[in-house]
Copies of this chain bind each other. A is one copy, B any other.
């Protein structure tokens, strides 16, 4: 990476899933050059909105969420640096969920037409995007499984495992330490429990020496134990990929 180039976490992520040609990287670089800085808690798009371009989070965190009639909130997924929303989002008439920044974030947009050309012109990019989508789906299935069949302690541990691994994959960890800009309220809204109960669960994990909590970060002191509590199997993140049969 040259001195003048800023790292592009979107491209870095896609490289994990496929080989990108130089022209592909250049095109992606160009396509995400329009990134703008957004404050925390800013909606990129709301449920009911008509979808427009694809959002690419180049830096910072965001989340997908739904609000229920009774006012409750369910967080559906976290977008970390390099993540993006569904590539074909523009085919829909209406969003079935909202997307909001959690921290201040750098977000680029790629129009449907531009995305289509990128996909047809750069097969490596297309491949990487398809895999990305499969990973996102796998993650949703893991969440459903957690919510349905894991206890609150297992569930919280599972989410921490996931976030730790995802963060590590993109170089966001420092050893066992993970920068985690999520309040316990957000975590509780992800896990389908109350902040009060989550707080007690975290306390238990803390006291057993499994994790350490600071504001804005977690340290996974005993990863093996955490994974064992969670019944964590990282297969759904699909780091091991099928070797491509010819470019």
User: Is A46 on the interface with B (CB-CB < 8 A)?
Assistant: no
C-alpha gap A235/B46 in the complex (Å): 13
| Contact yes or no, B149 A96, CB < 8 A | no
0/1 per residue, A178-196, Cβ < 8 Å to B?
A: 0000000000011110000
CB-CB contacts below 8 Å: A99-149 with B? 127, 130-131, 133-134, 136-138, 140-145, 147-149
Which residues of the other chain, B, contact A189 by a CB distance below 8 angstroms? 148
Chain B's closest residue to A141 (CB) is B76
| Contact yes or no, B93 A240, CB < 8 A | yes
C-alpha gap A90/B147 in the complex (Å): 28
If A93-B238, A242-B93 touch, whether A148 touches B147 (CB-CB below 8 Å) is: yes
For A69, A89, A136, A189, the residue with the greatest tally of chain B CB atoms inside 10 Å of its CB is A69
C-alpha gap A37/B88 in the complex (Å): 33
| Contact yes or no, A137 B134, CB < 8 A | no
| Contact yes or no, A91 B144, CB < 8 A | no
| Contact yes or no, A96 B192, CB < 8 A | no
